[in-house]
Amino acid sequence: MEPNTLLDSVLDEAGVSHAGLAAHVNEAGRARGMKLRYEHTAVARWLKGQRPRGQVPDLICEVLGERLHRALTLDDIGLGTPGSPRGPATSLSGFVERATALWRSDEQQRPHVVQAPAVTGTPAVIPVWEWENPPEDSDVSRRGLTRVSMTDIETLRAARAHYEQMYRKAGGVATRTRVVGFLNSEAAPLLRGAYADDTGRQLHRATGGLVAIAGICAYDSNAHGLAQRYFHQALRLAKASGDRGLGAYVIALLVNQCLFMKEYRQAVAFAESALRATGSQITPALAADLYAMQAKAYARLGDGAGALSCIRRAETAADRIRPGQEPDETGYVQPGLVNVQVAEALLSLGDLGGAREHATAAVGTPAHDRGRVHRLAMLTHIELRQGDADRAGATAVEMTERARGMESQRLRDRLRAVREHLAASGSAATAEAAELIDGALRVPL
């Protein structure tokens, strides 16, 4: 079940509590000769995604519609007919309402949204399939009260760059509340505004970039279901923008999440979808990252030939990267990123010498602090695997110092993993580093 963010949003707008809605539904049912005994716990289940039986969805529309002084449909409260068509053909405006409802619920820290698990199987694949395949959005213009200008769109672009830098320096935990607040206060009114098709495509692209950052921050906060929903939203916005490159970037984020969740075959398939749909228009940086992540997935699946083939393709693409010729979103593909991805793939294949060579090259290349922490963590692990405890301890100390001040669950998980490897080595040379990591982990987020 997916959380019903639309019902949650309408409830909040109407100022009705869970217990209040249950009582009003019971009363409306009695007027129709029905004996209903709903309590607040039933409403909580509806918000988590359970569909009430019989005429109850219509009663909810009636109760909330009277409170808001406007007619509500089942789709307005997220209780449309199960199995009804979905996707680009259903309504871009309907998607906007669902997306903004999620932003609102996230900002209000609704547990059923923030703590929702990631979906797997067909529900995880459908958004990627819909992005790659027809129909396209023929016209994304909209009539609204406020005219959207290019100045508004430039504001969204600048905000995306700002929050990306904040994430890299401070981590996703600290950044997420800010970017989601901005989506609610600035992006949501613009999406509901007035714009022609050309302006609308640029608006959806700029908003998609921001939503992707929100997803990255949710992922970094261990809110994987929420992150996945943001990535799916960003993919739909990319489709509306007509920018295949943006969609491929979002899929790269999904591929990274698949690797974390150990969905290796899905990671390979998603990366292939992005590479196939974008074709010759894909930028070298994005191609390098997608091939490198495919290599990691193949290595985890035990397919050495597939991994090595993707490594070669990643390295070839990386050689073609030219500064200033990439979109803002692919700025994360900095020099050395492919090296550390390849190091991880080679480590899975048991090639410790090759892995260390690539990890050392990655650490020797300038990177922002967050990226450097991950590179140092990989090098520490490889050095330990090779029995070089002295070197591993020194690398781990540098890693820990770099991580200080970052509010990131992903980095904390990485530190814990390194600390376990250091402790397992049983060497006095690693004791100082392990103690330093313990101190860093005692600092609460």
pLDDT class of 141 with cuts at 50, 70, 90:
very high
Mean pLDDT of all residues in the chain?
92
**Whether the predicted pLDDT of 252 surpasses 90:** yes
**Whether the predicted pLDDT of 3 surpasses 80:** yes
Q: Note whether 8 and 101 are within 8 A (CB).
A: yes
Beta strands in 196-330 (DSSP E): none
Average pLDDT over residues 255-262: 97
| Partner residues linked to 142 by β-bridges | 195
Say whether the peptide bond before residue 85 is cis (omega within 30 degrees of 0). no
| Partner residues linked to 194 by β-bridges | 147
Average pLDDT over residues 352-367: 95
Rounded CA separation 248/229 (Å): 16
Residue 317 tokens, joined: 């693409």
pLDDT class of 161 with cuts at 50, 70, 90:
very high
237, 312, 432 from 173: Cα distances, Å? 24, 35, 28
Residue 174: which of 216, 204, 203 has the closest Cα? Answer: 216
Average pLDDT over residues 117-126: 92
Residue 88, pLDDT score = 40
Sequence-distant (≥ 6) Cβ neighbours of residue 166 within 8 angstroms: 174, 175, 178
Please report the sign of the dihedral spanned by the C-alpha atoms of residue 147, residue 145, residue 181, residue 253: negative
pLDDT class of 175 with cuts at 50, 70, 90:
very high
Rounded CA separation 49/376 (Å): 42
Sequence-distant (≥ 6) Cβ neighbours of residue 329 within 8 angstroms: 209, 212, 246, 249
Domain-wise residue ranges, the chain? 5-75, 264-362
Average pLDDT over residues 114-139: 93
Average pLDDT over residues 99-124: 91
Residue 106, pLDDT score = 94
**Whether the predicted pLDDT of 84 surpasses 50:** no
pTM of the model: 0.85
Phi, psi angles (nearest 5°) of residue 87: 115, -170
Rounded CA separation 401/306 (Å): 37
pLDDT class of 81 with cuts at 50, 70, 90:
low
Q: Note whether 395 and 380 are within 8 A (CB).
A: yes
Phi, psi angles (nearest 5°) of residue 442: -75, -15
Residue 83, pLDDT score = 46
Residue 276: which of 290, 260, 255 has the closest Cα? Answer: 290
Residue 85, pLDDT score = 41
Q: Which amino acid is at 85?
A: P
For residue range 188-217, list pLDDT tens digits in order: 999 999 999 999 999 999 999 999 999 999
Phi, psi angles (nearest 5°) of residue 93: -65, -35
**Whether the predicted pLDDT of 21 surpasses 80:** yes
Helix (H, G, I), strand (E, B) or coil at 87: coil
